[in-house]
Amino acid sequence: MRILIAEDDSILADGLSRSLRHEGYAVDVVSDGSSADSALQLQTFDLLILDLGLPRLNGLSVLRKLRQRGTPLPVLILTASDSIEQRVEGLDLGADDYMSKPFALSELEARVRALVRRHGGVRASVLRHARLAFDLNGRIATIDDSPLELSARETSLLEIFLSRSGRMISKHQLVDLLCEWGEEVTTNAIEVYIHRLRKKIEPAGVHILTVRGLGYCLEAEHRPQPTDAVAAA
């Protein structure tokens, strides 16, 4: 999941980005409304955290332009003002949620999870593949209910593959999905992450296949059907 934070308070933006990255999200940060508007036109995001008091282009204008383009991206508004009129205007323009500063990071994290789930429609909170299960809320992987130790990169890769089971994913798509602006992650690094992840999930009967020239595909191990009926005959 990729989140854009549009916040001109560098200390707050840094705190938010660190917190959300710890939760496993890819996070990009801009400090003015014009940059936010440009980013929203160039990149696909899963959530926008939008401060209303942005320089160059205020938050309500960014939101208005976003909705005029017909983009259904969920938007969580942040504001230092507790004005009812401003809150109503933001919601009427298409914001999905609203938080007044100051706020608790734990509450913001909970609202982010709720907005991402809501935007995704009816979606299972646990993804299962063979003997492996992945809890989307807690971002915990298990094999036969035993926790699987994964790094942050491995966890994000696993979520990508499980949510696209049976579909081909190229190395470049994985780089785009995993990395934030300013990060230098090569396709060779992706190969290393996938190699490590493979070793951990193969005991669960889950395999990441390499298709030369195309990319990768997650495929569960096919188990033979029970032969009890044949034996009984």
Tell me, what's the pLDDT at 4?
Answer: 94
Question: What pLDDT is attached to residue 82?
Answer: 67
pLDDT of residue 12: 93
Which of 142 and 23 is assigned the larger pLDDT? Answer: 142
pLDDT digits (tens, 9 = 90+) for 129-184: 989 999 877 788 999 999 999 998 899 899 889 888 888 888 888 887 777 655 66
Read off the pLDDT band of 224 (50, 70, 90).
very low
> Residue 226 pLDDT > 50, yes or no?
no
34-73 residue pLDDT tens? 999 999 988 878 899 999 999 999 999 999 999 998 888 9
- What is the separation, in whole angstroms, between the first and last Cα of the chain? 52
- The highest-confidence range among 22-36, 82-96, 210-224, by mean pLDDT, is 22-36
Q: What is the pLDDT of residue 227?
A: 46
Instruction: Check residues 216 and 172 and name the one with the higher pLDDT.
Output: 216
Q: What is the 3-state secondary structure (H, E, C) of the chain?
A: CEEEEECCCHHHHHHHHHHHHHCCCEEEEECCHHHHHHHHHHCCCCEEEEECCCCCCCHHHHHHHHHHCCCCCCEEEEECCCCHHHHHHHHHCCCCEEEECCCCHHHHHHHHHHHHHHHCCCCCCEEEECCEEEECCCCEEEECCEECCCCHHHHHHHHHHHHCCCCCECHHHHHHHHCCCCCCCCHHHHHHHHHHHHHHHHHHCEEEEEECCCEEEEEECCCCCCCHHHHHC
Q: How confident is the model at residue 76 (pLDDT cuts 50, 70, 90)?
A: very high
Query: Does 123 score more than 90 pLDDT?
Result: no
